[in-house]
Chains A and B, each alone.
Chain A
Amino acid sequence: MNTLLKKLTEIHGVSGNEDSVREIIIEEVKPFCDTLRIDKMGNLIAFKKGTGKDRKRIMLGAHMDEVGFMVKSIDDNGALKFMTAGSIDRRVLIGKRVLVGKDRIPGAIAYKAVHNQKGEYDVLPKVEQLSIDIGFSDKKEAEKAVSVGDYVIFDTEYEERGDILKGKAFDDRFGCYAIIEIMKSKHKHDIYGAFFVQEEVGLRGSSASTYSIKPDYAIVLEGTSAADMPHEKDEADFPQMQKGVVVTISDRTFFANKEFLAFVIKTAKENKIKMQFKQPMIGGTDAGMIHKTKTGVKTMVFAVPSRYIHSPVCYASMSDLESMIELAKKTINNIK
């Protein structure tokens, strides 16, 4: 069992509340970096000096936050009304187990029984109509245990089965894991391991970090959607699990620099690293903010294809994660 992946994916770290994730990362990365700081927004920045001459500044970016919820109010029945942090598919909410607050109080996202939904069965309830049930029937008692503003995550355990990994928050604890692994080895160039806050609520931590780091190149390490289900219509190439690291040509927030992209494709070929492309012009990542910070940065996005990201449970392949780490290492090494 990969204990670091287990720790990283099971810990709670909803956008705006990334402290616990950061603590784990600090423990792991501290022995391998030269400087380590936390900026005013909560971004963690680790610097490792390179061994070569004519060193370039390379920023590796991943975000620490996951999508989740915040307690908005406690109603008279002791149930918790909540808001979402980041975009969660509304369809996955009902009937799921969650953990509330720092003490990880077990709860469930509740809706009335199907027997009592005559006439409304086909209507998907809005978030305002749902509540989190932690067992109380009394408002006063509930208020002793939880507070408005408490953060809530899905209660999902990390498991492995051969190459297949199951858990939550693969987007983007995989990226955090990858940066830690990459920083364990020596590199030609100066490496800045940047662990961002608040990506899920607007790509927010990355612009401030990039502003202070001033990188020559940036590689964003992410988790992206895999869509392996049978798709009748011959109209798209979706990323698939176990087909290698996913490289972005373009998404809604950014276009990869053409020369840098060609360079990466060549690097993958030379090192026999399994690679596939992300569907163009879909989704967005921190690269969207990074590439246009100050006078612009040459940026790449590498991602691990995961099934069901932004939902309670995801699948991904360890070999894809390793391909992502390998491609990043070799790219860094090839930059002149």
Chain B
Amino acid sequence: MKNMVDAVKQLTVAPGPSGAEDSLFSVVKNLVREFKVKVEKDRMGNIVVFKKGNKKGSVAFFTHNDEIGLMVTKIDKDYLRFTEVGGYDEKVLLGQEVTVYGKKQIKGIIGAKPPHLQTKGEGDKFLKFEDLYIDIAMKNKDIVKYISVGDRVIIRSGFTEMKQNTVCVKALDNRSCGAIILYMLKLLENVKNHPDIYLVLNSQEETTMAGSETSAFRLNPDVAFVLDVTFAKQAGYEQGYPLDKIGLGMGANICRKIFDFVKKVADENNIQYFIEPLPSMSGTDAYAVQTVLKGLTTMLISLPIRNMHSPVEIASIKTMEETAKLLSLVISKIDVKDFQERIIK
């Protein structure tokens, strides 16, 4: 791993749609090969990087490695019909270039009836899955050799560095957070004075959160940090959060004591943050993780991104670096004894 940009790039360009995240395993192994850690994948596709520490207890950092994607539902003569896996905005689809992962990878375009053949008024409505198809410019007899129902499709989206130290690419939700936690290994390279650390990239958050529930059950950490993305301020969404600050979640899904601890570390080290009020459901893995087994001490950290769930998500590299710094400081100061059950009598 050269730097944060390198980590984000390697993670985001890899194809890993919800339920089929296999390719991420070798990417992660490669990124952490210079560090003294163990990397494993469990039967649900969750990837766990383990760094042993000198202090008692364990802390887990949960992110999810799956991205939203598409799936072939039918081979319709010379075209493919498809549906979503995870929540798409259908408005982004028409005109995208895609890669179909069949017996071999084949490139295609998402198309529909040409505009001059539309009936009046049709041009103002956007097309839904039923009206769209994927064109791989092949004839049916060849298509069936390589593609079948159930094959995955990912929208092609290159990695681009943009102004003000930002990046634009697909799957920043949530590989950006995967990059943050793996980057921590660089900052903690010569640090041993911390509890055992689990850096987890869960599967299936975009569909069922089945990954986080099962990995949290297995690891049963003393403290669980969940990192996910949140909505940054942008045109049409003025109530969004600043791109250059990290979010500390406050609300039911979060244990107040751990929130206070993280806030204190941020204040003491001049790390910029905003408070993300989440009184009910956080809509993240924190929801699933907190109620596992006898309950886990849970904290939610949010990275603001623009254009969520489109192939052109945008986030700030600097904010990611600051977040990794904050969490590394937290992990080297934390004493898990402070976050256990309280016996009163």
Contact = CB atoms under 8 A, between A and B. Distances in A.
Chain A–chain B contact at Cβ < 8 A: yes
Interface of A: 14-17, 19, 26, 30, 33-43, 69-73, 83-86, 147-149, 151, 197-198, 201-202, 204-205, 207-209, 211-212
Sorted from nearest, which 5 A-B pairs have the closest CB atoms? A208-B295, A16-B252, A85-B279, A41-B295, A36-B345
A209 B342 CA distance: 14
Contacts of A69: 279
Given A73-B239, A212-B294, A83 B277 contact: yes
A82 to B, nearest CB: 9
A208 B293 contact: yes
28 contacts: A14-B279, A15-B252, A16-B251, A16-B252, A33-B345, A35-B345, A36-B344, A36-B345, A37-B341, A37-B343, A38-B344, A40-B255, A41-B291, A41-B296, A71-B277, A72-B277, A73-B239, A147-B275, A149-B277, A201-B252, A202-B280, A202-B287, A204-B290, A205-B295, A208-B291, A211-B293, A211-B295, A212-B295
B88 interface: no
Contacts, number: 102
B297 interface: yes
A148 B239 CA distance: 14
Contacts of B343: 35-37
B69 to A, nearest CB: 28
Chain A CB within 10 A, most for which of B279, B287, B294? B279
Contacts of B342: 37-38
B234 to A, nearest CB: 17
Nearest to B259: A149
Contacts of A39: 294-295, 341
The prevalent SS among residues of B at the interface is loop
Contacts of A86: 280
A69 to B, nearest CB: 7
B294 A201 contact: no
B159 interface: no
B50 interface: no
Contact count band on B: 20 to 34
B279 A16 contact: yes
Interface in B278-308: 279-281, 287, 290-297
Contacts of A208: 291-295
Contacts of A36: 343-345
B345 A30 contact: yes
A69 B252 CA distance: 12
Contacts of A151: 279
A204 B291 contact: yes
B270 to A, nearest CB: 19
A151 B277 CA distance: 10
A201 B239 contact: no
B227 to A, nearest CB: 19
B293 A148 contact: no
B279 A30 contact: no
A81 to B, nearest CB: 8
Given A15-B252, A16-B251, A148 B277 contact: yes
B294 A70 contact: no
Contacts of A205: 291, 295
Contacts of A17: 256
Contacts of B291: 41, 204-205, 207-208
Contact of B279 (A15, A42, A207): A15
Contacts of B275: 147-149
B339 interface: yes
A201 B290 contact: no
Nearest to B293: A211
Contacts of A37: 341-345
A83 B277 CA distance: 8
B264 to A, nearest CB: 15
